[in-house]
Amino acid sequence: MHLLLVEDDERLARALTRLLEEDRHIVEHAPDGQTGLELATAMDGLDAVILDIGLPDMSGLEVARRIRKAGIDVSILMLTARDTVNDRVLGLDAGADDYVVKPFAYQEIAARLRALGRRAEPGPRRAEPKLAAGAIVLDEAARRVTVNGRTVDLSPREFSLLEALLRHAGRVLSRDQLLDHAWPFSVAVTPNAVDAYVHYLRTKLGEAGAQIETVRGVGYRLDATPGGARTGDDVTADAAAADG
């Protein structure tokens, strides 16, 4: 892979570069956020950015946000020294695809890069049908959500939550189940994060947001037949049948 390493710790950068090059990656190094952004913009065929969160001139979160804002199509692997819930949520929301907590073993980086490489690989993809319920349509391949044909701009977390709810439309998903879907790499995220993101999601979906029902004390359910007569058990059965 063609990689950009944005890391201000010279020793770590040197060691990591050497190991990555031994694995036949091509590595460019930027010691600060500004240089990183310039290289990310200038480099042709860049596959992934390995991005330290603590940089001297700007936060790695800011670098990730600007890379996404600029529409640069590249995977971002965040390096964070702080193993806190907030940093994970912020990092992923800023546009990171995955992250590794320092101190890490090189094998962790190698494994994450392999996973990102597989995701980015062109070629035959398995057919990913659209998921729909009422006015909401989610196109997995295009990573696009529409409500009544209008595109709704969702963050990656919001998209994952909605995807899980649609996939199991009509069924109750617990907060823990939703966490597993939307924060697969974040073992320490609390269920409160789910509540917060469901709130954002409802707001962004507008009227269709009402399709996401709160099941008190348990979690959430996406109404598969909004406006229509509710036929509780049938809805559940349909959703289960469509699930396979």
- We find the least distance from the C-beta atom of residue 52 to Ca ion, in angstroms, to be 4
Q: Please work out the total of residues on this chain that contact Ca ion, with binding judged by CB under 5 A.
A: 3
- Number of residue whose CB is nearest Ca ion: 54
Stretch that binds Ca ion, among 3-11, 83-91, 159-167, 207-215 (CB under 5 A): 3-11
Nearer to Ca ion, 39 or 120 (CB): 39
Binding range to Ca ion, per CB under 5 A, among 44-52, 146-154, 200-208, 222-230: 44-52
Contact residues for 177 (Cβ-Cβ < 8 A; gap 6+): 164, 219
Structure tokens belonging to residue 67:
């890379």
* Selected range binding Ca ion among 15-23, 47-55, 188-196, 207-215, rule: CB under 5 A: 47-55
Q: How far apart are CA 208 and CA 201, in angstroms?
A: 10
Cβ neighbours, 10 Å, residue 144: 15
Q: Which stretch binds Ca ion (CB under 5 A): 2-10, 65-73, 84-92, 111-119?
A: 2-10
Secondary structure percentages of the chain, helix, strand, coil, to 5: 45, 20, 35
Helices (H) and strands (E) in the chain, counts: 9, 12
CA dihedral of 116, 104, 92, 158, whole degrees rounded to 10: 80
CA-CA-CA-CA torsion sign (128, 71, 33, 43): positive
CB closer to Ca ion out of 8 and 180 = 8
Q: Which is nearer to Ca ion, 79 or 198 (CB)?
A: 79
- Closest contact distance (angstroms) between CB of 81 and Ca ion is 7
Q: Which stretch binds Ca ion (CB under 5 A): 4-12, 173-181, 202-210, 225-233?
A: 4-12
- Using the minimum distance from each CB to Ca ion, give the nearer residue, 78 or 92: 78
Helix (H, G, I), strand (E, B) or coil at 114: helix
Nearer to Ca ion (CB atom), residue 99 or residue 197: 99
Q: How far is the CB of 48 from Ca ion (least distance, A)?
A: 18
d(CA 211, CA 1): 42
Which is closer to Ca ion, CB of 8 or CB of 139? 8
Nearer to Ca ion, 79 or 147 (CB): 79
Residues 6+ apart with CB under 8 A from 46: 2, 3, 4, 40, 72, 74
**Which residue in the set 2, 8, 32, 156 belongs to the binding site for Ca ion (CB under 5 A)?**
8
> 52-71: which residues touch Ca ion (CB under 5 A)?
52, 54
In the three-class reduction of DSSP (H, G, I as helix; E, B as strand; rest coil), residue 128 is classed as: coil
Which residues sit at the interface with Ca ion, rule CB under 5 A?
A: 8, 52, 54
